[in-house]
Amino acid sequence: MDINDWRGVATATALIAFIGVCLWAYSGRQKEKFDNAAQSPFADEPNDK
């Protein structure tokens, strides 16, 4: 394998990781956490959860 093969593997790995992060971020299971994080700047008391 030469350097170009490794570059292709690195690109494919980065693409798979990016798609995985996008799927994780937009999954319904994360909605409650992200809603809480979005409202935290407006909270009167700090929330350590």
- What is the reported pLDDT for 41? 87
Q: Domain tally for the chain?
A: 1
Does the residue 49 lie in any domain? Answer: no
Q: Hey, what's the torsion of the CAs at 38, 41, 47, 49, to 10 degrees?
A: 20
Q: Does some domain include residue 21?
A: yes
Q: What is the token pair recorded at 48?
A: 């350590």
At residue 31, the pLDDT reads: 87
Q: Which pLDDT does position 30 carry in this prediction?
A: 86
Per-residue pLDDT tens digits for 8-48: 999 999 999 999 999 998 988 888 888 999 998 888 776 66
Asked whether the beta carbons of 30 and 24 are under 8 A apart, the reply is yes
For residue 47, give every residue at least 6 positions away whose Cβ sits within 8 Å of its Cβ, in sequence order, or none: 36, 40
* pTM score of the predicted model: 0.64
> What range defines the domain where residue 16 resides?
3-44
